[in-house]
């Protein structure tokens, strides 16, 4: 009898510890009324805290979603480094750095929503594919170039001649190792006229789009998203072609005719899980009637805010 009492007491202690651990874990999870934290990755030539762009978005989100935690990503130690790294820091290193940053942030451990602006859209998708912890819940891509670009007509850097310098570097040899390793825009340069060169030498885009080989973890991690929201700007004059914002691109061997996502081998072979996400309602296509990253606050409230609000809550408009 004594032996049975000891065994029962031990089981009881184990149960008590398990209950306490579960209660502790549950206490860390957000309740249904608490907003999910938001992580923002800015675009080319911008910074985390520009009051005319990402800074105003951060302020707007905090006004519309009471008590929300917003983290606008700074890539570097200060705003100037952040802007420069949008051009000259290897994207794979940027994604690794952000992964480590988010892992250390206690506010994000139960999950977060992500908003990517321009190139920040495909960078956050790479993060979702490569860095599943902490978990990304929803990804909203504003004008992200998910099939890359084949043209750089505009960029936001205010320095005279800077954008021309970037174009010359890309034209000089987008797929040389030195440029791939050091020029961000070359890492998502997608040349439809020489696909073999692109697939063999692209160190970022060809990898995250599974064009070198299929990485099952990329597909499985992306499918964990609750929503992938792709925003295309109907009058976009920066992204060439703008269909890249919905995973469309030029058909092979030329730069005139286009295909859309559902015609692509990426979708038909389901190399990223996008076909499955589409069938299960996880993939949303939105369009804003403006140039690159131009939308009204009313459009944002109507189309985007519902993805970010807790279920059953109301915005403080």
Q: Quick check: is 301 catalytic?
A: no
The b-or-e profile of 289-299 (16+ CB within 10 A means b, else e) is eebbbebeeeb
**Concatenated DSSP letters of 108-164:** GTT-EEEEEETHHHHHHHHHHHH--SSPEEEEEEES--TT-BS--------STTHHH
Nearest to 193 by CA among 109, 118, 256: 256
**What DSSP designation does 260 have?**
-
Phi, psi of 108 (to 5 degrees): -105, -5
Provide the 3-class DSSP secondary structure of residue 38: strand
At residue 120's C-alpha, the angle toward residues 186 and 52, to 5°, is 115
Q: Quick check: is 236 catalytic?
A: yes
User: Annotated catalytic residue: which of 82, 191, 236, 270?
Assistant: 236
Residue position matching structure tokens 């920066």: 238
* Beta-ladder partners of 70: 38
Q: Which helix or strand (DSSP H or E) is residue 81 part of?
A: helix 79-88
CB-CB contact of 307 with 140 (8 Å): yes
Q: Quick check: is 32 catalytic?
A: no
User: Annotated catalytic residue: which of 46, 47, 53, 118?
Assistant: 118
Burial bucket for residue 259 (CB in 10 Å: 0-12, 13-18, 19+): middle
Nearest to 50 by CA among 147, 123, 120: 120
Angle between helices 91-103 and 119-130 (to 10 degrees): 60
Instruction: Report the catalytic residues.
Output: 118, 236, 292
């Amino acid at each position: 009898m004594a032996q049975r009492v000891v065994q029962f007491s031990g089981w009881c202690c184990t149960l008590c510890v398990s209950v306490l651990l579960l209660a502790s874990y549950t206490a860390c999870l957000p309740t249904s009324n608490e907003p999910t934290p938001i992580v923002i990755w800015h675009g080319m030539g911008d910074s985390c805290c520009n009051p005319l762009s990402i800074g105003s978005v951060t302020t707007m989100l905090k006004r519309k979603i009471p008590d929300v935690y917003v983290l606008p990503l700074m890539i570097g130690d200060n705003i100037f480094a952040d802007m420069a790294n949008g051009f000259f820091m290897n994207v794979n290193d940027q994604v690794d750095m952000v992964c480590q940053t988010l892992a250390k942030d206690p506010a994000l451990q139960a999950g977060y929503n992500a908003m990517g602006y321009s190139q920040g859209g495909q960078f956050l998708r790479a993060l979702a594919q490569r860095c599943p912890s902490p978990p990304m819940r929803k990804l909203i891509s504003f004008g992200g170039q998910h099939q890359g670009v084949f043209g750089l007509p505009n960029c936001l850097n205010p320095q005279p001649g800077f954008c021309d310098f970037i174009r010359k570097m890309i034209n000089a040899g987008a797929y040389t190792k030195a440029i791939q390793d050091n020029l961000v825009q070359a890492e998502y340069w997608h040349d439809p006229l020489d696909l073999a060169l692109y697939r063999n030498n692209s160190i970022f885009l060809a990898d995250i789009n599974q064009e070198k080989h299929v990485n099952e973890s990329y597909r499985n991690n992306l499918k964990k998203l609750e929503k992938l929201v792709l925003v295309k700007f109907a009058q976009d004059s920066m992204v060439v072609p703008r269909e890249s914002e919905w995973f469309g691109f030029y058909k092979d061997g030329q730069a005139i005719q286009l295909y859309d996502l559902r015609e692509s081998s990426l979708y038909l072979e389901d190399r990223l899980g996008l076909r499955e996400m589409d069938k299960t309602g996880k993939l949303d296509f939105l369009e804003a009637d403006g140039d690159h990253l131009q939308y009204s606050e009313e459009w944002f409230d109507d189309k985007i805010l519902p993805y970010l609000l807790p279920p059953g809550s109301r915005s403080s408009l």
